[in-house]
């Protein structure tokens, strides 16, 4: 028993306490893979991803026909609407004969949707239902990315319509071009030459996977209300694509041996199987989104999990570092920082960096740009902004007023100690502005951080 505990402790330390920047790249990649695998199992066991997937199943059932009807009308204008049925058949392929039956019913519903019959109100409701599905999907992806701010209505409307109207056209066009290229006489001549023929066969086999990975990559980059790196999106899409194909094969095998369920549920069997397949598909898509997030934000790969919050002393240190970075970029004519970039640069949770930024913004020290995602700039001259104000802003963040919160009883000794601490901090930082901090460079940054460390007993470096 003791040997097992010792082995488990050794493995745990090797996984979570190893600095991946000081080890070879292959070892860092292996450790990162194990960490992502661990946190993914933990996230699934907590059940929130499952609940999000279930919620999307319900919304999909309500919005699938309106969504396809809008896409169908656009595709019909370009003469490629007949490819909608093969796409549905491909998606429902793991369901076998039941997939064919569901596809026929859905296509029948879509063809019966006519603007003249619906009228203006019905057409508006149709568009609203389709957009509401996209909104629900965005919120699910924002959850996996720890993003609390959603797009504005104008951004949602234009972005969602782009996906609904243009997305299917691009997908079907790429599929049509691929099919046309593969059927040309040149390709036929190439396949007759070995080993080029074998390579063409392999490429033909890989095309469906590449299309799936490409579609998933587009979804992971576009839907979350944050900047997603292409490399991270490709990693998540590749894992989700392979997983989706594997799960599809397993689901098809399950249906072959599920005659008992058909006998029990009778006419509802097809609907229930369809809902299960929708649930599995959404869950795989959300898992891929989580993998994309963890690949881009390795600072969230921790053994404890849960909501990551900063202590008061770390908030002060982060505030000083954020003030330094933003002021330095301003004076050196560099691009402004976003919340995500600051979190990665300082190796703190994005929510922690956002909390500090919100506090500084409320005090009128920072302002957001109109970019998507927004970046942060000084809201007032840095030569008149004292470093002490920076600390005061995060110390008083989310502090309630006397009317909303009953103040604790006053004690003379405690009040005197607090006044002495405030005067001590004021004395050390007297006259120091953010301009001084930015222009002094690394030496000033270290000096201010050491001041806070000495006053509050915090470590000088926390990564």
The DSSP symbol for 184 reads: S
Residues of the chain with pLDDT under 50: 401-402, 442-463
148 with 81, same domain: the answer is yes
What b/e readout covers 207-226, taking b as 16+ CB neighbours within 10 angstroms? eeeebbbebbbbbbbebbbb
**Distance in angstroms (rounded) separating the CA atoms of residues 291 and 142:** 13
> Residue 181 corresponds to which tokens in the numbers above?
């290229």
Residues 323, 418, single domain; the answer is yes
Same domain, yes or no: 136 and 123:
yes
CA distance 370 to 338: 12
What's the CATH code of the domain at 347? 1.10.10.10
Torsion of CA 410, 416, 421, 424, to 10 degrees: 150
Residues 177 and 31 in one domain: no
Structural domain contains residue 356:
yes
376-419 per-position pLDDT tens digit: 999 888 888 888 888 888 887 766 544 555 566 777 787 778 77
Confirm whether 89 is domain-assigned.
yes
Distance CA 51, CA 143 (A): 12
Q: Domain range spanning residue 439? A: 312-401+409-456
Task: With beta carbons less than 8 A apart as the criterion, state whether 40 and 286 touch.
Answer: no
* 234 shares a domain with 198: yes
Residues 289 and 169 in one domain: yes
Query: Are residues 303 and 69 in contact, defined by beta-carbon separation less than 8 angstroms?
Result: no
Residues 250 and 393 reside in one and the same domain: no
Q: In angstroms, rounded to a whole number, what is the distance separating the alpha carbons of residues 291 and 110?
A: 35
pLDDT at 279: 93
Residue with tokens 């970019």: 371
Residue 113 lies in a domain: yes
Asked if residue 305 belongs to a domain, the reply is no
Same structural domain, 18 and 77: no
Segment 67-76, tens digit of pLDDT: 777 777 666 6
Inter-CA distances, 32 with 16, 37, 288, 351, 433, Å = 10, 9, 16, 22, 40
CA 135 to chain centroid = 14
pLDDT at residue 231, rounded to an integer:
92
Residue-level pLDDT at 77 = 62
- If asked whether residues 274 and 322 sit together in one domain, one would say no
Q: What does the chain come to in residues?
A: 463
7 and 99 part of one domain: no
Q: Where are the alpha helices (DSSP H) in 113-195?
A: 115-144, 153-161, 167-182, 185-191
What is the predicted pLDDT for the residue at 271?
82
Give the pLDDT score at 304. 72
Report yes or no on 41 lying in a domain.
yes
Structure tokens at 125: 């409701």
CA neighbor of 350 nearest in space, from 294, 288, 392: 294
Residue 289 lies in a domain: yes
Angle, helices 339-346 vs 312-331, to 10°: value is: 110
Q: Are residues 78 and 120 located together in one domain of the fold?
A: yes
Per DSSP, the three-state class of 349 is coil
Q: What is the pLDDT of residue 425?
A: 76
Q: Residue 463 domain-assigned?
A: no
CA angle 277, 279, 280 (to 5 degrees): 65
Would 306 be classed as within a structural domain? no
Choosing from 278, 300, 322, the residue where a domain stops is 300
Same domain for 20 and 96?
A: no
320 token code pair: 């000083």
CA 147/CA 167 separation, integer angstroms: 24
Domains of the chain: total: 3
Domain boundary among 30, 45, 60: 45
CB neighbours of 216 closer than 8 A, spacing ≥ 6? Answer: 236, 237, 240, 241, 285, 288
Strand, helix or coil for residue 410: coil
pTM beyond cutoff 0.75: no
């Amino acid at each position: 028993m003791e040997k097992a505990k010792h082995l488990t402790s050794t493995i745990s330390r090797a996984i979570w306490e190893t600095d991946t920047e000081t080890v070879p790249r292959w070892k860092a990649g292996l450790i990162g893979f194990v960490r992502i695998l661990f946190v993914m199992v933990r996230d699934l066991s907590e059940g929130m991803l499952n609940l999000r997937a279930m919620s999307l199943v319900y919304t999909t059932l309500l919005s699938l026909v309106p969504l396809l009807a809008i896409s169908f009308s656009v595709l019909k204008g370009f003469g490629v609407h007949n490819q909608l049925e093969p796409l549905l058949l491909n998606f429902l392929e793991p369901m076998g004969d039941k997939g064919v039956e569901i596809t026929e019913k859905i296509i029948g519903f879509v063809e019966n949707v006519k603007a003249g019959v619906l009228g203006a109100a019905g057409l508006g409701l149709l568009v609203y239902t389709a957009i509401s599905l996209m909104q629900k999907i965005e919120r699910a992806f924002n959850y996996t990315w720890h993003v609390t701010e959603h797009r504005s209505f104008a951004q949602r409307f234009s972005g969602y319509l782009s996906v609904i109207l243009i997305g299917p056209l691009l997908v079907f066009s790429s599929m049509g071009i691929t099919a046309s290229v593969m059927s040309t006489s040149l390709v036929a001549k190439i396949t007759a030459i070995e080993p080029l023929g074998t390579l063409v066969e392999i490429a033909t086999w890989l095309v469906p996977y590449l299309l799936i990975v490409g579609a998933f990559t587009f979804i992971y980059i576009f839907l979350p209300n944050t900047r997603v790196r292409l490399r991270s999106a490709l990693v998540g899409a590749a894992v989700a694509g392979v997983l989706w194909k594997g799960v599809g094969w397993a689901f098809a095998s399950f249906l072959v041996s599920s005659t008992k369920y058909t006998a029990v549920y009778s006419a509802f069997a097809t609907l229930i199987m369809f809902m299960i397949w929708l649930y599995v598909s959404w869950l795989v898509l959300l898992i891929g989104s989580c993998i994309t997030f963890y690949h881009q934000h390795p600072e969230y790969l921790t053994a404890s999990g849960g909501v990551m919050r900063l202590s008061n002393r770390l908030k002060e240190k982060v505030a000083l570092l954020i003030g330094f970075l933003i002021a330095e970029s301003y004076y050196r004519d560099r691009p402004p920082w976003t919340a995500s970039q600051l979190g990665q640069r300082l190796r703190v949770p994005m929510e922690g960096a956002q909390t500090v930024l919100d506090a500084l913004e409320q005090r009128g020290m920072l302002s957001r740009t109109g970019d998507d995602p927004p970046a942060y700039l000084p809201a007032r001259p840095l030569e008149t902004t004292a470093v002490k104000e920076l600390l005061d802003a995060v110390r008083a963040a989310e502090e309630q007023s006397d009317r909303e919160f009953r103040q604790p009883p006053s004690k003379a000794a405690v009040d005197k100690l607090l006044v002495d601490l405030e005067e001590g901090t004021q004395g050390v930082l007297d006259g120091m502005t953010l301009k001084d901090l930015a222009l002094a460079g690394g030496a000033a940054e270290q000096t201010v951080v050491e001041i806070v460390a000495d006053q509050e007993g915090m470590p000088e470096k926390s990564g």
